[in-house]
Structure 1
Amino acid sequence: MQRSDDGVSLIGGNVVSGALQRCVAAGAEEFAADYWDRAPLLSPALGDYLDLLDLDGVDELLGGRALRTPFVRMAKDGHVIPPARYTGSGGAGAEIGDQVRDEKVLALLADGATLVLQGLHRMWPPLVAFASTLRQELGTPVQINAYLTPPSSRGFDPHYDTHGVFVLQVSGRKHWRIHAPVLDAPVPRQPWGGVAEEVAAAASGEPVIDTVLTAGDALYLPRGWLHSAATVDEWSLHLTIGLHAPTRLTLLDALQRLAVREPRLRAGLPMGLDPADAKSLAPALADTVAALHEWLDSVTPEDLAAQLRGETWSAARPGPLRPIAQASALSTLGPEVRVTARPGLPVRLDDPSGGRIAVHLPDRSLSLPESCADAVRTVMDGRAHRVGDLPGLDDADRIVLTRRLLREAALVLA
């Protein structure tokens, strides 16, 4: 829990440390200073990743989870395979035509295609937990995809991502070639397809890293670094963890949304002005820049944080809960029940004001009596608590408060 001058920010849940340690050989401070968003890092023999996902787990996802696109993609030799080649109707009562057909996936795998399972941080429990812990350690939303490639095969052409990634080699071997960026620190509006020729030319040169990842190896790539990979003589399964960290453009975008509150910045341009003519545009530009400077001087970090809070917090889902069990518990809640903050749920508690305390969740805010402040801070600290032990309230008020926070999905049953 981190406290600032004007409140408390928390990410709920029982945090198990060490997710970053499974991704990089460097310590957290060294990684942040020397590699994060700067340079690639190869980390051999970090350990076994089979607890996160293995080949049996891939089979279960394909054969028993009724996956639909876009949770599955397939590619071969640099070309994305149309989804119609591996999807179809789910049969009676499930006629939707984009369900993944396991027999079609089998045929494509046997033909050398790469399988991509997307969004596993939302559907595969070990990766849900791992993603939640890593997000708390890094302070940024993460996504997890799995790539399964048959022997002597290649799925995608050399390319770059507009977000950083960790690559965790789960099983088999894969040959990776890494080249320096053709565009430094690209953002999502700058995909590699816009500079495809430059990417292809750079990828034909000498790589910065040329290595074969084996089970237990890891690789960090900042956004923009070119990469391609191919299997050697066996099946390869690796996890790619996308790191969707905010940039300074994130702040600028938020400032632009805040700027609509300023009347001078909403003002229209003079009638007849041709914005494509530099000479006629110059006075309007100078006036706009002056108004912008004056307005920016009035913007506080609190203004910007409030604008960004819902957007950044909503970018990652908190841990799952049990809706039926939780709804059933509301009517029988007593002092002996144990509860805890919902894993991975960001929460901000404002200091009491006007006899009330504000509890900010990703998509809404709650207003509670000031007398609840100590109990709320306690119950949201990431540990399990007995309802009857919450401080500052009697049992009746403890139950009312806990019931409210359970209904709002800020708490879960421990």
Structure 2
Amino acid sequence: MTRPLLTFRALLAPLLSEDFIAEHLDQAPAFVGGDGTKFAHLFDWEDATKLLNNSKVWSSETLKLTEVGESVLPEQYCFQGTNRGLQTIQRPDPTSVLERIRRGAVLTLGSMESSMPHLARLTAAVSSALGGAGSARITCSGPTELANVVDFDVGDAFHLQLNGSSSWVLYEERASRDGSTAPRELTGELEMNAGDVLYLPAGQFYQAAASSVSTMWLTIVIVRPTGADILPLIQESLTDTPLFRADLPFYDNAVEHKRHLEALAESLRSAVGSEAFAAKVMAFQRSRMYVSKIASFNLPSHDIGEFFRVPIGATEPSDVMSETREIARWAKQTEIFTLTELQLNFPKHSMDTLINILTALQESGFLQQPEADIK
């Protein structure tokens, strides 16, 4: 059964995505209440059971247990096994895992962004909207106490309550890269029920606990690139610059040394400030989005589905033909789509017509096609 795809806008509704980006992204938590049907088709206990029973998927890296906020050591719930490459790994033992869950352990399933097509598409939608690399995990347990250890995520985190309810305590402080910030001041407490969404900015300290007999929530984390991530691009751009290939002046000649460093700084400023380098950085950022990693198999067909995305702030073109406006409106609502999906939704148009419309929308800046990873 093909499941309905959840878009970024639908995830946040009734909060407008534009308002979220302006008022909450990297600024403040956001709580969006929903009814129990909002995530009914996203992931349930039957899905969890099917995935867990596929034992070859799991290792101590992708299936983790915590008890009272403390991680359970892999050797306490795993046995030594091999992966498909015949490498030795720690494989979770179902009996040990179930026994610890029965005693109150919390189960976390990692790498869920690639586990099912509709979860991959949702991760891609959030990644596309925020411009970062996406990952997803599932947390499930019975009733638990608030963890003694305060937690945080390194990226922007969206917690989706799938089943049951959970209690959350939020702190004012956010973790710093050097680890010098500690959680001190409480900023709020809330109860999450099925259908609710909680957004926490990167580094926001929190505590969470299951508050119903069976509880499950999905967390999508988006890590956006920083200036440090483009240092390899800067180095690549300067490698063939004669000034950067020249020897540094002898350090005893302070005047010449200072003059040379000033020349290097000016050359660096010129290279980084160029339009060509800006285009390379934007291509790099688009390649980091999860959108470029969601191709899936559909054998016996061997066609590769090329994905298109519509930026959140894109404005629908007005001075175009009616069929172009119609497709642009659909594309904005869909956010991410393939050429095949476009063809299925607009069967009255020939493939040539659709490609021409896509090309025009791309040239206008309304549509983008994420590049492949830059090596």
Change over 3 Å in CA distance of 1:266–1:66 after alignment to 2 = same
- SS of the aligned residue for 1:309 comes to helix
Separation in structure 1 between the aligned mates of residue 6 and residue 144 of structure 2, nearest angstrom:
37
1:161 maps to which of 141, 149, 153: 153
Please state whether the residue corresponding to 2:57 is helix, strand or coil. Answer: coil
1:269: Cα distance to partner?
A: 3.9
Structure 1: how far apart are the matches of 2:82 and 2:223? 37
1:98–1:129 CA distance, 2 compared to 1 (3 A) = same
Distance 1:249 1:23, change over 3 A: farther
Change (3 A) 1:268 1:20: farther
Aligned pair 1:313/2:287, yes or no?
yes
Is 1:235 the counterpart of 2:214? The answer is: yes
> What is the CA deviation profile of residues 144-178 of structure 1, one whole-angstrom value per residue up to 9, with x for unaligned ones?
11111321244572133221110111112211111
Q: Which residue of the partner structure matches residue 45 of structure 1?
A: 34
Partner of 1:364: none
Q: Give the equivalent residue in structure 2 for 1:355.
A: none
RMSD, aligned α-carbons: 3.6
The partner residue of 2:244 within 265, 270, 290 is 265
Whether the 8 Å contact between 1:152 and 1:234 is mirrored in structure 2 is: no
Deviations 1:280-331 (A, max 9, x none): 989746642442223322442332433563575155353343364134xxxx
State which of 59, 62, 67 in structure 2 corresponds to 1:71.
62
Q: What is the Cα deviation at residue 182 of structure 1?
A: 4.6
Amino acid at match of 1:45: G
Change (3 A) 1:91 1:26: closer
Scaled by the length of structure 2, the TM-score of the pair is 0.71
Question: Could you say if the C-alpha distance between residues 24 and 104 of structure 1 is closer, same or farther in structure 2, counting changes exceeding 3 Å?
Answer: farther
- Displacement of 1:226 after TM fit? 1.0
What's the secondary structure of 1:181's corresponding residue? strand
> How far, CA to CA, are the matches of 1:157 and 1:281 in structure 2?
52
Structure 1 residues 281 and 64, CA, compared in 2 at 3 Å: closer, same or farther? farther
Task: Please name the residue that 2:103 is paired with.
Answer: 111
Q: Deviations over 1:195-233 (max 9, x none)?
A: 3xx42xx34x3x212111111111111112111112234
**Do the aligned residues in 2 keep the contact of 1:113 with 1:153 (CA within 8 Å)?**
no
Structure 1 residues 127 and 381: alpha-carbon distance in aligned structure 2, compared to 1, 3 A threshold: closer
Pick one of 269, 276, 280 that aligns with 1:302.
276
Offset at residue 240 of structure 1 (A):
0.7
Q: Distance in 2 between matches of 1:282 and 1:211?
A: 62
Change (3 A) 1:63 1:139: same
Distance 1:128 1:92 in 2: 23
Aligned to 1:358: none
The whole-number CA distance in structure 1 between the counterparts of 2:351 and 2:83 is 51
Amino acid of the structure 2 residue aligned with 1:210: E
Name 1:58's counterpart in structure 2.
48
**Compared CA separation, residues 83 and 304, structure 1 to 2 (3 A):** farther
- Give the one of 207, 218, 235 matched to 2:197: 218
Separation in 2, partners of 1:53, 1:16 = 12
For the pair shown, which has the larger CA radius of gyration, 1 or 2?
A: 1
Which amino acid counterpart does residue 268 of structure 2 have in structure 1? W
Instruction: Give yes or no for contact 1:341–1:382 (8 Å, CA) kept in 2.
Output: no
Alignment pair present for 1:122 and 2:122: no
Q: Distance in 1 between matches of 2:201 and 2:109?
A: 22
The structural deviation recorded for 1:143 is 1.2
Q: Work out the CA distance in 2 between the residues paired with 1:86 and 1:177.
A: 29
1:326 equivalent to 2:301? Answer yes
- The amino acid across from 1:341 in the alignment is G
Helix, strand or coil at the partner of 2:53: helix
Residues 249-260 of structure 1 correspond to what in structure 2 (within 5 A)?
A: 249-251=228-230, 254-260=233-239
- What letter is aligned with 1:29? E
Q: Provide the C-alpha distance between the structure 2 equivalents of 1:243 and 1:35, rounded to a whole number of angstroms.
A: 14
Secondary structure of 2:218 counterpart:
strand
Distance 1:124 1:174 in 2: 24
1:341 aligns with 2:305: yes
Whichever residue aligns with residue 80 of structure 1, its letter is: S
Q: Which moved more, 1:154-163 or 1:34-43?
A: 154-163
State the alpha-carbon separation in 1 of the partners of residues 28 and 258 from structure 2.
Answer: 38
State whether residues 169 and 206 of structure 2, in contact with CA within 8 Å, keep that contact through their aligned partners in structure 1: yes
Which residue identity lines up with residue 309 of structure 1 in the other structure? A
Over 3 Å counting, the alpha-carbon distance change for 1:169 and 1:97 in structure 2 is same
Aligned to 2:343: 384
1:72-87 → structure 2 map (5 Å cutoff):
72-87=63-78
Please state how far the C-alpha of 1:118 moved relative to its aligned partner: 0.8
Counterpart of 2:76, as a letter, is: R
The change in CA–CA distance for 1:24 and 1:75 in structure 2 (over 3 A counts) is farther
> Between the two proteins, what is the percent identity of the paired residues?
18
* Contact 2:132-2:285 within 8 A present in 1 as well: no
Q: Is the 8 A contact 1:76 1:112 kept in 2?
A: yes
Q: How many corresponding residue pairs? A: 316
The match for 1:293 among 255, 266, 280 is 266
Shift of 1:128: 1.7
Give the unaligned 5+ runs of structure 2: 311-337, 354-370
Mapping of 1:269-288 within 5 angstroms? Answer: 269-271=248-250, 284=257, 287-288=260-261
Alignment deviations for residues 242-282 of structure 1 (CA, whole Å, 9 cap, x no partner)? 01223444456643443333332344444466xxxxxx989
With over 3 angstroms needed to count, the CA separation of the structure-2 counterparts of 1:307 and 1:103, relative to structure 1, is same
CA distance in 1, matches of 2:254, 2:172: 40
Q: How far is the alpha carbon of 1:51 from its aligned partner?
A: 1.4
